[in-house]
Amino acid sequence: MSQTISPVIQAAELKHLLQTESIVFIDASNGPKAKANFLESHLAGARLVDLDTQLAEIPIDAAFGGRHPLPKIEVFGQLLGELGITPETHVVVYDDKNGSNAAARFWWMLRAVGHQKIQVLNGGLKEALKYELPMGNGEAEIVKTSAYPTTNWMLPLIEIEELARVSENDAYVVIDVRDAARYRGEVEPIDLVAGHIPGSINVPFTENLDAQGLFLPAEELRRKYHAILGDKKVENSIVHCGSGVTACHTLLAIAHAQLPLPRLYVGSWSEWSRNKL
For the annotated catalytic residues, the residue numbers are 241
Say how far apart CA 65 and CA 35 lie, in whole Å.
26
Say how far apart CA 23 and CA 169 lie, in whole Å.
44
Cβ contact 94:124 at 8 Å:
yes
Sequence-separated (6 or more) residues with CB below 8 Å from residue 178: 196, 202, 204, 205, 241, 242, 246, 269
Say how far apart CA 114 and CA 89 lie, in whole Å.
12
Q: What is the dihedral of CA 13, 14, 19, 25, to 10 degrees?
A: 170
**DSSP calls for 126-145:** HHHHHTT--EE-SPPP----
Quote the strand ranges of 125-272, DSSP E: 135-136, 173-176, 201-202, 237-240, 263-264
CA distances from 270 to 71, 89, 158, 276 (A): 17, 34, 15, 11
Residue (of 43, 162, 40) closest to 91 by Cα position: 43
